Amino acid sequence: DAGVIQSPRHEVTEMGQEVTLRCKPISGHDYLFWYRQTMMRGLELLIYFNNNVPIDDSGMPEDRFSAKMPNASFSTLKIQPSEPRDSAVYFCASSPRRGASGELFFGEGSRLTVL
């Protein structure tokens, strides 16, 4: 398996623009997570899905952020409008099951820079 695939790897945009980050989880994994990583706050969980259903979105910073998982093989994280403070590396991760191992498989991340 190719692992978790994220796109784009790098995104530079101007404040106010819409940003869409994409994720393809590992086939067969029931859980999908979106994390944001910054120097100041470390790894923050934004939202996670189980079987395509959002379970916990308490980490989504504000209404400008939205996430969807229309099917088991695709998820998006959208920021509209983007702001400079959204600059970070966004990771998608998937997991086969929550209980037994809890192992998260991370993608390589999407580095977002908002000017």
Partner 1 sequence: QQQVKQSPQSLIVQKGGISIINCAYENTAFDYFPWYQQFPGKGPALLIAIRPDVSEKKEGRFTISFNKSAKQFSLHIMDSQPGDSATYFCAASDRGSTLGRLYFGRGTQLTVWP
Q: List interacting residues with partner 1 (CB under 8 A).
A: 4, 41-43, 45, 48, 55-56, 91, 93, 98-99, 101-109
Residue 85 makes CB contacts below 8 A (sequence gap 6+) with 114
* Shortest distance in whole angstroms from residue 3 CB to partner 1: 9
Q: Which is nearer to partner 1, 81 or 111 (CB)?
A: 111
Quick one: which of 31, 36, 32 has its CA closest to 65? 36
* Shortest distance in whole angstroms from residue 6 CB to partner 1: 8
Asked whether 11 and 100 are in contact (CB, 8 A), the reply is: no
